[in-house]
Structure 1
C-alpha cells in the first residue's frame, strides 16, 4: 500500500461553483443571443409546453438565458420608471404581476439547464452551466435590489387599510425583507461599505471552496492487497477500482470524496489505514497543510464580513440576521430545542459507545475506541444485532417495486393519481415522465408533471456524496402565467444488469422517498405566484420537512411490506427483516444526533462569536461528544456547507426540519394504521397545508393549522428510539 499525492499547484483564487455573483464566462456568450429567437421560450414546445430535450444544445440554452436575462433586467427598469411616474401605482397589477410574467420564463429556462447539468454532463458541462447559472441568478436579483420596488412594497404592506389575500401580503413581505437584507434602507456611506463587504465575502467564499476542492483532490491512496477489500460491496469497489470492469481484482484508489470516505471507513478492516484516511479527511485545508491550501484565514474573513454586514443592518450578529428567514424565529428558541434534544442524546451516546466497545472487544479489538473506529464497528454491530446486510436486502428492493409502493402510498395519502406518459422529449433513454392528477376530480388535465432519471452514468452524471440525488424545479406554479409545476428527479442508482432490475440499498430507498417528498411540495402547490409557490419563500429550517415526512413512512411495517419483495422469487421480505429495518434507525442514534447537534451549535457560535474558530470548537466539543477531540482535528477548515455553500448560521435547519416532520408524522401514529379513512383524512390535511400553501403562509401558522398546536421535539426522540437513560435509571 502506498499513499500518493497528485496534481500541480493551481491558482487558488478561482471562482466558486454556483456561488460567484459575477463571472467573465457569460459576457463572452452574450453575442450568441441572436435576433431570430422566438418571443416565447425557445427551449419549450409551444404546443405542449414541455422542454424540447431531443433538440436542445448548449448554444440554445446560452442564447435563451442571455436573452431572457436582458429582458428581465430591462423589464425591471420599465417597472421602476412606471412607479416614478404614478402617484399611487397598483403594486400587484403594475409591479408584481409583470415581474411574475418576466420571471417564470427565465426560471423555466434556468430549470431546464440545471436539469441537463445534473442529468447529462455531455449536454451541459459544468463550465457552461456556471455561466448560465450566474447570469440567471444575477438577473433575478435585480428586482430585490430596486429601491423603487422596495419602498412601494413596504408602503403598501404597512398600510393599515390594505385589503389583500394572505398570499399577497406574504409576497409583499418577501420583497420588503429581501430589500432590507440587501441594504436598501442604508444611507450612502454604510451602503457602500455593505456592498464592499459583499464583494470581499464572495471572493473569500470562492477562495475557501477552491482551496478545499484542491486539498481534497490531492489525496489518493492506492490499495493493492485484496484482503483489505474483501468485505466491501461490489458497487463500491467498482467506483474505486482502477479497472471498473474488474472490481474484484484491483488495485483500488481511495480519495477524500464524501461518497468514498464514508463507506470506506465503514468497511475497511485495517485500523491504521482507517486512521490515515480519517486524519487526512479532517486535516484538509488545515493549518498543517500547504499554506496555499489553508482555509483558516478565508473562513475567519467570511465570519468577519458576515457579522459586519449584519451589524450595518442593525442586527447583533449574522446569526440574529439569519433568524429573519427561519421558522424558529430566534436564537434562543433554536438553542432551547437543541439543548432539549441533547439532554436525551448525550447519555444515549454514552451507553451506545459502551456497548460498541464491548462488542468490538469480544471480536478481538484491542485498544481504545476512537472516531475512526466507530463507523467500522457500528456497521458490524448493526449487521449482528439487526441482521442488517445491505447486499442481501438489496435483492428485496427492486426499483420498479419500490416506485410502485411509493406512488401508491402518495396516492393513498394525498388523493392523487400518478400516470406515466411516454410521448415526451427526454434527455436520455433511461428518463421516464409522469403526470399527477387529482384523484377526486376529472382526470382530463394533470395538476403537475415530473421526470425521473434513476440510473448512474459515470460519464454523464455528477456524484457529490454517497446518497446523491436531486430534485430540480424545472417550472414553477403560476396562475398569473398559467403555468403548471414541472420537476425532475435525478439519481445515481444501480442500473439494471444481467437481466436483474435496478436493486436499491435501504439508503437508496430513503433517498428516493426524501427527494420525492421534496418534489411533492413543488408539484402540489396551489398558490398563484411563483415567488411563494412550492419551495419558494419557505423558511430555511422548514425546507426539508416534506423530505423527512415521506422518509418516516419507510419505518412503517406496512410500507416496507408493500415495497419489499424479492426481485426473482417474489418472496415478501421476512418479518424479522421488516422489524430490523423498523428498529435500525435507533442504532447509534444518540451518537449520530449528538454529531449533528454539535455541528449545528458550532455553526451558530461561529457566526455569533468573535473567538477564533479552533477555540470555539475546543470549548464546546466535550459537551456533545463522549470521545475526546483528536489533537489536530481541524474539521472546521473543511466545513464547506457553512462557508462556501449557503448554510452559514443555518446548518441547524436539517435537524429542525426533521423534528417538525416527526411531529407531523406522529399525527398518523396516533391513529390505527388500518383505519384508512382517518389516514386519508390526515393525509388530505397535510396536502392542504404543507404541500399546498408553499411559501404563501408562515410555516409556524401552517403547522398550527395541521397539528392544532406548536411543534415539540418529543416525536423526533421517539422516532429515533431515544429515551432519557439517566431519568430511567432514577425511576
Structure 2
C-alpha cells in the first residue's frame, strides 16, 4: 500500500490530483522514519565531525518530509476541510515530537558543537559560516542544554502550542464563514457600487437565497463598509467582523489567547530568556524588546499629532455631511472614502475598470521583466489543488528556468482570509544541480461576476504587488542551502522585498504598462494617476497609528509576564490607550482573531511591517534617484538582497546595497509626516 502513496513516489510538482487526505499521515510518518535514518547516519559515523559530514548532511536530511509537510500545511490554509483540519491536529504533535527528538539528540549536538568550536580554523565561506551558526543556535535555543526534565517540559509546551495555534486559526475561519448579512430590501443597498451588489447577488444565488448576501471575507466586507449608506447595517457588519472568536461559545478564542501567551512565556523562561519577545528578537534585526518599543515610540511621536488632526477633520466632515454626533469605528471607512472623494475627486469605483485582474497580473510580470529580466508563461500541465489556481513557468532572458509559480486569487470557504506567499519547494544547490523553487501566492480578491470580470480595488492591486514582491524573493533565490534560501531571513527583513514593490503601483511609468480600461483598452488617464499619487498619503497619520496599535498590542502580549492577565479584552484596551481615536466597542476584541501573532508566526514581530517600511522607503528613494526601471540598480538589489536569502546578516546585505544604514526620514517623508525634499 505504501508504494501507492503519491506523496512517497518521486514527484517534480506537488501531485495534488492524486493526493487524498488519508495519504498525508502515513506519508509523513514514513518520511519521518526516512529522516531519522539520515540523522542516524550522521550520529553513527566513526569519522571525526566535519562541516561536510555533519552540517551539510544535517541540512539536507528530511528533504522528503519538508516537501510533504509544505503541501499539507499549505492546503490547510488555502483549501482546507474538516478532514484536513482533523489531520492537522493529529499530525502537528507528531512533527513536534520529531523536531524535539532532533534538537534534543545529544550525539548530534555534540558533532555540531565539535565543528562549531573549531569554526575559525575551517576556512568556511560566508554562507557555510551562517549555516553553522544557524544550526548551532537551533540546538541551543531549543533546549539542548536543558536537563532531562526540562527537555520533557519543553516537548509538552511545544505540543500544546502547536495544537492551540491550529485551533485558534480554525475558530477564526469558522467564525468568518458562519456570519452572513442577508438583505432582501434593495433600498438597504443604497450607496453600494454595482460590482459589490452583483457579487452579493451571486453569493445569495450560490446559497439558493433571494436578494443579496454580504459576508466577512474582505472582497465582500470592505466595499460594504466603504459605501453602504445604512449606518445601522454598517454597525452590524463591523461588530460581526470585530467579534470573531469573542462570543463565549465553542468558537471562542479568549482562553486560547491566554493559554498561548502563557505557554510561550513559560517556554522562554525555561530556555533562559526574560520574556518570549526576548527569545524571538534574539534572531531579528531589532534584537531586543527595548529597541522595538523605542522604535514604535519614535514613530508614534511623529504620527500621533497628524492622526489626531486627521481624525478631528474627519469628525467635522461627518458632522457637516450627515450630522453624525460621534464618529464610530463603523463610520471610519465610509466617511474616509467620502472625504477622499471630496478632496481628490477619486474613488475606487473610478479606478477599478483600469485594474482588471489579468491586466494587473500581466503588469506585475512586465515590471519584473523590466527590472530583473524575468519572463512568465502560463502552463496548463501542472497539477493544482483547485481549478482557480493558475500556474506559470518563470524563465530568465536566456530561457533558463528560474521558478514555478502558482497563483490563487479568490476567496473560498476552505481558504483562510488575507493574502500570503508560500513555497512548495525551496531553492538549493547540490550535486552540481541548481534546484529551482516552486513559489505560490494566495489572495482573497474580488471575484468576477455575471456582469464583469474581476476588477480590483487599488488596495487589492498593492496587495498583489506586495505578495509578488515576496514571490520574487523566493524565485530569485541563489544559495546553496535551503534553510537560508529565499525568504528564510530575519522576520523584520522579510517584508522589504514585498513592501518595496508596492511603490511601483504609484508611478506613472509603471501604471501605464498595465492599467488599461477593461472595456475600451484606454490607458489610465494622467489625471487619475496624479490623483492616486496625491492621495497616497491621505490619512497616513491614522494608518500609521493603526499599524503601531497592532505592534504595541503584540508586544504587550509577549514582552512581559502574562500570568496575571485574566481578561483578554481589558488587557487589549490598556494596550490600545496610546493609539485610540475611536470609542471602544464592547462587543469587539482584536486579539481573538489576530491570526498574524497567534497563528501566523508574527508573535513579537508585528512591528516588522513598520521596520521594513523604513528599509523600503529608503530603498525606493534610491531607485527613484536612478530611475525606477534602472537595470543597474535592479541588478544590484537582486544580487545583494533578493538572491542572497539569509546567507548574511540583513544589515550587512542592506549596507552592501545602499552603502549605508536606512534612516526613518525617507519613510516619514513619503508618509507626509516630514517636509518633503
For the aligned pair, the TM-score class normalised by the smaller chain equals: 0.7 to 0.9
Q: Which region of structure 1 is more displaced relative to structure 2, 626-635 or 132-141?
A: 132-141
The aligned residue for residue 299 of structure 1 is 257
Q: Is the 8 A contact 1:240 1:253 kept in 2?
A: yes
The TM-score, its normalising length taken from structure 1, stands at 0.82
Q: Tell me the secondary structure at the aligned position of residue 487 of structure 1.
A: strand
The aligned residue for residue 395 of structure 2 is 437
Q: CA deviation at 1:607?
A: 1.7
Q: Tell me the secondary structure at the aligned position of residue 351 of structure 2.
A: helix
The aligned residue for residue 631 of structure 2 is 680
Q: 1:213 to 1:401 in 2, by over 3 A?
A: closer
Q: CA deviation at 1:233?
A: 4.1
The aligned residue for residue 81 of structure 1 is 44
1:339-418 map, 5 Å: 339-418=297-376
Match of 2:487 among 493, 511, 535: 535
Q: Is the 8 A contact 1:65 1:110 kept in 2?
A: yes
The aligned residue for residue 597 of structure 1 is 548
The aligned residue for residue 666 of structure 1 is 621
Q: CA deviation at 1:136?
A: 6.1
The aligned residue for residue 154 of structure 2 is 194
Q: CA deviation at 1:501?
A: 5.2
Q: CA deviation at 1:494?
A: 5.2
Q: Is the 8 A contact 1:435 1:448 kept in 2?
A: yes
1:229-268 map, 5 Å: 229-237=189-197, 240-241=200-201, 244-245=204-205, 250-256=210-216, 260-268=220-228
The aligned residue for residue 564 of structure 1 is 515
Q: Tell me the secondary structure at the aligned position of residue 492 of structure 2.
A: helix
Match of 2:142 among 182, 190, 200: 182
Q: Tell me the secondary structure at the aligned position of residue 601 of structure 2.
A: coil
Q: Tell me the secondary structure at the aligned position of residue 461 of structure 2.
A: helix
Q: CA deviation at 1:213?
A: 5.8
The aligned residue for residue 473 of structure 1 is 423
Match of 1:334 among 285, 292, 297: 292
Q: 1:491 to 1:200 in 2, by over 3 A?
A: closer
Q: Distance in 2 between matches of 1:606 and 1:148?
A: 37
Q: CA deviation at 1:75?
A: 2.1
Q: Is the 8 A contact 2:3 2:9 kept in 1?
A: no
The aligned residue for residue 658 of structure 2 is 707
Residue 555 in structure 1 maps to residue 506 in structure 2: yes
Q: Distance in 2 between matches of 1:343 and 1:185?
A: 42
Q: Distance in 2 between matches of 1:696 and 1:451?
A: 26
The aligned residue for residue 107 of structure 2 is 148
Residue 635 in structure 1 maps to residue 590 in structure 2: yes
Q: Is the 8 A contact 2:382 2:391 kept in 1?
A: yes
Q: 1:563 to 1:194 in 2, by over 3 A?
A: same
Q: Give unpaired runs (5+ residues) of structure 1.
A: 1-31
Match of 1:90 among 47, 50, 57: 50
Q: Which region of structure 1 is more displaced relative to structure 2, 507-516 or 637-646?
A: 637-646
Q: Which region of structure 1 is more displaced relative to structure 2, 423-432 or 315-324?
A: 423-432
1:611-626 map, 5 Å: 612=565, 613=568, 616-626=571-581
Q: Distance in 2 between matches of 1:176 and 1:552?
A: 38
For residues 352-380 of structure 1, what are the alpha-carbon distances to aligned partners after superposition, in whole Å with 9 as ceiling and x for unaligned? 11221222223223312122211211122
Q: Is the 8 A contact 2:78 2:416 kept in 1?
A: no
Q: Tell me the secondary structure at the aligned position of residue 721 of structure 1.
A: coil
Q: Give unpaired runs (5+ residues) of structure 2.
A: none
Task: Give the root-mean-square deviation of aligned CA atoms.
Answer: 3.5
Q: 1:635 to 1:57 in 2, by over 3 A?
A: closer
For residues 57-111 of structure 1, what are the alpha-carbon distances to aligned partners after superposition, in whole Å with 9 as ceiling and x for unaligned? 55566654443232113322332233xx44x22232x233333444333333344
Q: Tell me the secondary structure at the aligned position of residue 335 of structure 2.
A: helix
For residues 439-496 of structure 1, what are the alpha-carbon distances to aligned partners after superposition, in whole Å with 9 as ceiling and x for unaligned? 3xx43x3232323444x374xx74433xx44433121112126321122334444566
Q: Is the 8 A contact 1:346 1:625 kept in 2?
A: no
The aligned residue for residue 487 of structure 1 is 439
Q: Is the 8 A contact 1:323 1:331 kept in 2?
A: yes
Q: Distance in 2 between matches of 1:362 and 1:418?
A: 51
Q: Distance in 2 between matches of 1:117 and 1:238?
A: 30
The aligned residue for residue 132 of structure 2 is 172
Residue 42 in structure 1 maps to residue 2 in structure 2: no
Q: 1:402 to 1:134 in 2, by over 3 A?
A: farther
The TM-score, its normalising length taken from structure 2, stands at 0.88
The aligned residue for residue 31 of structure 2 is 68
Q: Distance in 2 between matches of 1:41 and 1:653?
A: 38
Q: Distance in 1 between matches of 2:379 and 2:173?
A: 41
Q: CA deviation at 1:672?
A: 4.5
Match of 1:450 among 405, 425, 433: 405
Q: Is the 8 A contact 1:521 1:692 kept in 2?
A: yes
Q: CA deviation at 1:545?
A: 1.7
The aligned residue for residue 67 of structure 2 is 108
Q: 1:304 to 1:471 in 2, by over 3 A?
A: closer
